[in-house]
Amino acid sequence: MTDPTTLANAFTITPVRDLTDLKDTISLFYAYAGSLGFDLAFQNFDAEMAAMPGRYSPPQGELLIARDSDGNATGCVGLRPLPFPGRDLQICEMKRLYVTPSGRGTGVGKALASAIIAIAQQLGYSEMRLDTLPSMVAALKMYRMFGFEDIPAYYQTPLEGTHFLALRLDKHRTNSTADVADAQHEGHV
């Protein structure tokens, strides 16, 4: 017999491919922005939302959404290319990783991060960057567990203490696609 707590914590992660998923992802992005306690205008957040999926669109980008066993959206993450004019660098950015309060502690954040890293590798990116705040202690710990390292700022931010991190994807090893998919489906990552 299956333990009911396992069923309660089960989730699925899928690429955003239909209007329902896109609307739910946008709602999660707004929830993320609202949870920060400051305005994301310096990142042109409103324009980003108006253009969704925008730079997160395949084939160079991706949006993932996590849903619990009842189909409720519990988390999301985006991947987008970072432009570096005049340089042939395959660098992407993990953006807007967010897990709802009801989804926290279930492994969905780690599963979303793992899945988006694997997708970035499949797309041929050599490096993934991200930024996070000092107050996001659990997120910073998770990113370091994946192998992200501190780098100099790659954009201007008014937020003091922002951590800028990068992961060399050509050196990072992930589980096989099947193992990651199985773990995500079961909610064990």
pLDDT in tens, 77-127: 999 999 866 566 699 999 999 999 999 999 999 999 999 999 999 999 999
CB atoms within 10 A of CB 187: 22
pLDDT of 83: 80
Say how far apart CA 29 and CA 32 lie, in whole Å.
5
What are the extents of the domains in the chain? 4-186
**Six-digit token string for 89:** 């660098």
pLDDT at 157: 83
For residue 131, which of 97, 91, 86, 162 has the smallest C-alpha distance? 162
Sign of the torsion angle spanned by Cα atoms 170, 172, 175, 178:
negative
Instruction: Say how many Å lie between the first and final Cα of the chain, rounded.
Output: 21
pLDDT for the residue 85: 62
The b-or-e profile of 48-78 (16+ CB within 10 A means b, else e) is beeebbebbeeeebbbbbbbbeeeebbbbbb
pLDDT value of position 43: 83
* CATH assignment, 4-186: 3.40.630.30
Q: What integer pLDDT is reported at residue 74 of this predicted model?
A: 98
Q: Can you give the pLDDT at residue 184? A: 38
pLDDT of residue 87: 62
DSSP string, 107-151: THHHHHHHHHHHHHHHTT-SEEEEEE-TT-HHHHHHHHHHT-EE-
Q: How many C-beta neighbours within 10 Å does residue 14 have?
A: 14
Q: Spell out, as residue ranges, where the chain has pLDDT lower than 70.
A: 1-9, 84-89, 172-189
pTM: 0.84
pLDDT score at 89: 64
